[in-house]
Amino acid sequence: MIPGQIPTIRMLKQYVPEKAKWYFSRLTSMSVDEVFYRIQQRTNIEIDRRFSATEASWQRDRQVVLPSQPLEVKVGLETVEHETVRQTYIELYPENYEALIHKAEALLEHKMELFGFSVDLGKEINWHQDPKTKRIWPREFWANIDIRDGSKIGGVKWVWELNRHHHLVTLAKAFYLTDDEKYAHEVCSQLRGWISTNPVHVGVNWTTSLEPAIRLINWTWVLAFLSSYDSFDESLLQDIYGAIDQQANYIFRYESKHSSANNHLIGEAAGLVVAGLSFPFLNPASKWAEHGLRTLEREVGKQILEDGTSVEQAFHYLAFTLDFCLIAWRVAELNSLPLPPIWVSRLESAADFLCSVMDEKGMVPHIGDSDDAWVLCLDDLPHPNNFSSLVTSASFVCNNMHLQHPSCDWDEKNFWLFGPQGKDRLDTLTPSEQDPLFAHSKLLPDGGYAILRSADRLALFDWGPLGYLSTAAHGHADALSLTITLGDQPVLIDSGTYAYQEGGAWRDFLRSTRAHNTIVIDDCDQSEMLGAFLWGQRANATLLQWDFTDEYDLVVAEHDGYAQFGIIHRRAILFGKPDCIIVMDWIFGSGTHKVEQLWHFSPESQIDWEGRKDASITIQCNHKHITIVALEREGLEVSTCSGKENPLQGWASSTYAQISPAPVVALSGHVSLPFQTSVAFDFGACERSRLTHWRDKLLSLLQL
């Protein structure tokens, strides 16, 4: 530091030892109130540590009063005669039934799929073992376990995914539909084993409150499907209800608050609502339900914005949040509880937004983090679509047929949530005479997105903030990025997520600016990474101009992520309907800097380019094609790559834990600022004159 200069946090951070950097960065992201809250939580931890050390079963020994009808759980199944549900299901979903039995038979042998990988859990399931690496997490007091370092044992998500017990719902459902007790026996065996090897506060399955919340929701459905099973003994029921009591109280005691109050808090609240309303005979049940409902009322309005977008800037986590809310809503409805109007309003907006960005298959772009998580898996087909399923649920809940997307139907998940009568009720809704909401271009000012549509062409322009709260945990450095979908085929893509704690360099790359369709200056990110789920200095984007017409859509925005270099990046997108998108970039500043404009294409794409001087590059993706034409690129060289390892470039992850080479087109060079460049994306074999016409049209429309 310069003598006499007042040190800033960023200056001081370079003097902090490596091991303490994360803690230093995390502490500086907290408010004063949060620091005091964390101190209070630390006190709770030390109290629990003392009890766990002296009497590991101190809560397990607490008896619960068993209800007179212990397996009557309100999830909707009990409102229709069992045989009617079974016959209707088999008639409506014969393929699902076949897939269910096939999966259940494999589960009897402890074989299952996690994140697309086949795993064998062995004769006796070790609930603390990473299913992929086979290394075992320590059975210690939960606060002693470091879940951030995936290099020692493996990514904690793998063992958490197993312990969410989605597969027990499959086994219980197989019993419900077949009356074959072998499936129920296996569920009971696994529950007994889990409870005995996961005493309260001990092990990796107690290291976050979200995991017990998801587990409680799944256990609720397991018990509902086992309602006709006569072989439950009282001691097992005592253990199950005792474990429900422990997990719900743990959630209540260790909620995710302040800078951690993202989708985790909504999930925890939903878990408390479901457990509290489904097991009212447990002494604190009314307290769980009331607290969970109050939390959801507050957080739904915070985390789902008025235009339906996710405050976390991650499309997957919007669906995750929506899933929790819909399940909690359904359980509350079955218990005749009135719900606040903001619930319906925000769920409707979220479903509208998802419709607006869906392709013809009902899939949405990978924006922000995604870990492929489900709350409740009620559809056992190999690749169910949770996005279209949630939109169908919302159209049912909100009584709004206007939300229906062509890809949405009454899938198995909605069958189980709303019963055989649900589809009849949905069919009585009057279709809207208006054009579908998803057929139009749209500006989403709260989330910071522009949806540009024409026929089957969809472009999404991202000018939103980095993420939510001080950590921005699930955001990516993607300001002014663009994605393009043609029909059912993502062509210009966001590179995805791949992995969390075990991701290492991949985690950093896929969150970086270099993994997105925007501009990189001097090989630096727009925003500063401080940890796997922690950001420091971040880019702030601003919408400058927009205009949507039948002939064209225009959006202009800029960000200050390179302000430390005295640089502002401005981008204008003009969609000349129906077959051309012009992207014009301005780099405002002074001096000479390295500028790199990047375009990432789906792994299925093939690039046809042999270094032609006109920099015209054709990308073929299955039955779709798109051509990039560099209209202005003085000082920039064109290059392509795929699957490059040093440095990482040209990779895409469409699902968690899987990554593939994917082609990237780069226009890069050292140029003097200010600098301007423009490219055209041609979907329809346009003449060069048509492309330049739209470029000139863009310039004429600018009001800056």
Name all contacts of 603-610 with Cβ < 8 Å and 24+ positions apart. Answer: 603/652, 603/654, 603/660, 603/661, 603/662, 604/489, 605/491, 605/662, 605/663, 606/663, 607/640, 607/663, 607/665, 609/638, 609/640
Mean pLDDT for the stretch of residues 557-583: 97
The tokens for 111 are 């074989």
The tokens for 453 are 């549509």
Q: Which pLDDT value is given to residue 224?
A: 93
Q: Which pLDDT value is given to residue 405?
A: 73
Residue among 256, 246, 249 at smallest CA distance from 38: 256
Structural contact between residues 199 and 56, judged by C-beta atoms closer than 8 angstroms: yes
The tokens for 638 are 């064109």
% of the chain residues with pLDDT over 70: 90
Structural contact between residues 513 and 494, judged by C-beta atoms closer than 8 angstroms: no
Residue 656 CA: distances (Å) to CA of 199, 373, 392, 613, 652: 30, 9, 25, 39, 11
Q: Which pLDDT value is given to residue 88?
A: 92
Distance CA 216, CA 194 (A): 13
Q: Which pLDDT value is given to residue 28?
A: 65
Of 110-124, 434-448, 561-575, which gets the smallest average pLDDT?
A: 434-448
**pLDDT tens by residue, 458-478:** 999 999 999 999 999 999 999
**pLDDT tier at 2 (50, 70, 90 boundaries)?**
very low
Which residues does 231 contact at the CB level (< 8 Å), separation at least 6?
A: 181, 184, 185, 188
The 3 state secondary structure assigned to 448-497 is CEEEEEECCEEEEEECCCCCCCCCCCCCCCCCCEEEEEECCEEEECCCEC
Structural contact between residues 156 and 657, judged by C-beta atoms closer than 8 angstroms: no
Q: Which pLDDT value is given to residue 440?
A: 85
**pLDDT tens by residue, 24-52:** 666 667 787 778 788 888 888 888 888 76
Q: Over the chain, what is the mean pLDDT?
A: 89
Residue 610 CA: distances (Å) to CA of 537, 614, 635: 40, 11, 19
Of 88-102, 141-155, 235-249, which gets the smallest average pLDDT?
A: 141-155
Residue among 527, 560, 524, 564 at smallest CA distance from 544: 560
C-beta neighbour count of 212 within 10 angstroms? 28
* Residue recorded with tokens 């003009």: 574
- Containing 252, the helix (H) or strand (E) segment is helix 234-253
Q: Which pLDDT value is given to residue 439?
A: 67
Q: Which residue has the higher pLDDT, 570 or 430?
A: 570
- Beta partners for residue 574, in sequence order: 554, 582
Q: Which pLDDT value is given to residue 9?
A: 47
The tokens for 84 are 């009617």
Length of the chain: 704
**pLDDT tens by residue, 192-234:** 999 999 999 999 999 999 999 999 999 999 999 998 898 888 8
Q: Which residue has the higher pLDDT, 14 or 124?
A: 124
Task: Please check the confidence at residue 398 and state whether its pLDDT lies above 50.
Answer: yes
Task: Please check the confidence at residue 175 and state whether its pLDDT lies above 60.
Answer: yes
Mean pLDDT for the stretch of residues 505-527: 97
Structural contact between residues 691 and 641, judged by C-beta atoms closer than 8 angstroms: no
**pLDDT tens by residue, 657-693:** 999 999 999 999 999 999 999 999 999 888 889 999 9
Q: Which pLDDT value is given to residue 56?
A: 47
pTM score = 0.92
Q: Which pLDDT value is given to residue 608?
A: 82
Q: Which pLDDT value is given to residue 704?
A: 73
Q: Which pLDDT value is given to residue 528?
A: 96
Q: Which residue has the higher pLDDT, 480 or 53?
A: 480
User: What SS3 class is residue 629?
Assistant: strand
Q: Which pLDDT value is given to residue 70?
A: 54
Distance CA 391, CA 351 (A): 5
Structural contact between residues 219 and 166, judged by C-beta atoms closer than 8 angstroms: no
**pLDDT tens by residue, 307-365:** 999 999 999 999 999 999 999 999 999 999 988 889 889 999 999 999 999 998 889 99
User: Do strands 541-548 and 624-632 pair parallel, antiparallel, or not at all (unpaired)?
Assistant: unpaired
Q: What is the DSSP letter of 407?
A: T
**pLDDT tier at 489 (50, 70, 90 boundaries)?**
very high
